[in-house]
Amino acid sequence: RVTGVRGDGFHLIDAEMVSLDLHDVLTITPGGNGIGVTGPFAGGVPTDQSNLVSRAMVMLDANEAHVEIDKQIPHGGGLGGGSTDAATVMRWAGMGTSDSDLARASHLGADIAFCLVGGRARVTGIGEIVEPLPYLDLTVTLVIPPLVVSTPAVYRAWDERTNQSTDGPNDLEPAALAAEPRLQYWREAIGNRVSCKPTLAGSGATWFVDGEHQDALGDLLDEGATVVVARTVPIEVAAPTE
């Protein structure tokens, strides 16, 4: 849920977040500089100051290191890959899960504080309040369309909506559909194949459904989508490690 907007413009959320068994691999080399990106989803990942890793390094005053990212989490799908990478850098620099560290992390992104904690949690405020929840062993199928949805554009669309309530589990879904109308096609394509309505992950562009549906959704690969079956992981293995 989006519960309001603070005076400084940050949106307030009330969300359930979970860690999945998808992960990038970061190699951090002290004494270097800059970012390199490899892996199956390296395409389109920025290596300038718009990358959350770069911004985290600046925030931490830790610019004298080179970060190589092996990109295994699809880019631009709203799955938090950039946030987990930023959280990994923060862990490397010595940040933990204290209230002050989580508050600091949340100013870079609403889900970075959660990525420092991992597991399953209720996340409120602007993302700095992370309340761990019991682990649920779940399998989900993710469909990442061949398009990128701008998170700021989705929040702007949410701000512009006269009726900001929704019957679905994600308040941002109507705003995302307004910001990127092509998402509607993918929602219908997925729903028609699995006979249930998919849910948008965050601000998009990823849609997900409970259970394993890779076979039913396999033909969407021909349309440029990425289809991934993933499982949740407990907090003990979810937090970034060196």
pLDDT tens-place string over residues 129-145: 999 999 999 999 999 99
The single residue listed with the structure tokens 């970061």 is 26
Pick the CATH number of 139-231 from 3.30.70.890, 3.40.50.720, 3.40.50.1100, 3.40.50.10800: 3.30.70.890
pLDDT tens digits, one per residue of 67-122: 999 999 988 888 999 999 999 999 999 999 999 999 999 999 999 999 999 999 99
* Alpha helices (H) in the chain, listed in sequence order: 52-59, 81-92, 99-106, 112-117, 151-160, 172-179, 182-194, 214-217, 235-238
- Residue 242, pLDDT > 60, answer no
| Structural domain spans, the chain | 2-134, 139-231
Neighbours of 99 (CB within 10 A): 11
Sheet containing 35-38, strands listed edge to edge, beginning at the edge strand earlier in sequence: 25-30, 65-70, 35-38
**3-class DSSP state for residue 221?**
helix
**3-class DSSP state for residue 28?**
strand
Q: Quick check: do 2-134 and 139-231 share a fold? A: no
pTM of the model: 0.91
Please tell me the class of the 2-134 domain: alpha beta
The single residue listed with the structure tokens 């490690």 is 241
Tokens of 235: 């907090």
Could you give the CA distance from residue 216 to residue 58 in angstroms, rounded to a whole number?
44
Rg (CA), the chain: 17
